[in-house]
Amino acid sequence: MDEQELIQGLRNGDEAAFKYLVDNYQDRVYNTAIGIVQNAEDAEDVAQEVFIQVFRSINSFKAESKLSTWIYRITTTRALDLLRSRKSKKRFGFLQRLFGEGNEPIYDPPDFHHPGVELDQKENASRLFKAIEQLPDNQKTAFILHKLEDLSYLEISDVMKTSIPAVESLMHRAKQNLRRILSGPT
Per residue in 130-171, pLDDT tens?
888 899 999 999 998 998 888 899 999 999 999 999 999 999
pLDDT (0 to 100) of residue 96: 42
CATH number of the CATH domain containing 111? 1.10.1740.10
- Mean pLDDT within 38-43: 91
For 50-83, write each residue's pLDDT tens digit. 999 999 999 999 888 899 999 999 999 999 999 8
pTM of the model as a whole: 0.67
Rg (CA), the chain: 18
Q: Using alpha carbons only, give the angle 73, 77, 83 rounded to the nearest 5 degrees.
A: 150
Number of domains in the chain: 1
Please tell me the predicted confidence (pLDDT) of residue 121: 58
Of 79, 176, 74, the C-alpha closest to 135 is: 176
Q: How many CB atoms neighbour CB 44 within 10 A?
A: 15
Helices 3-11 and 15-37: crossing angle in degrees, nearest 10, is: 100
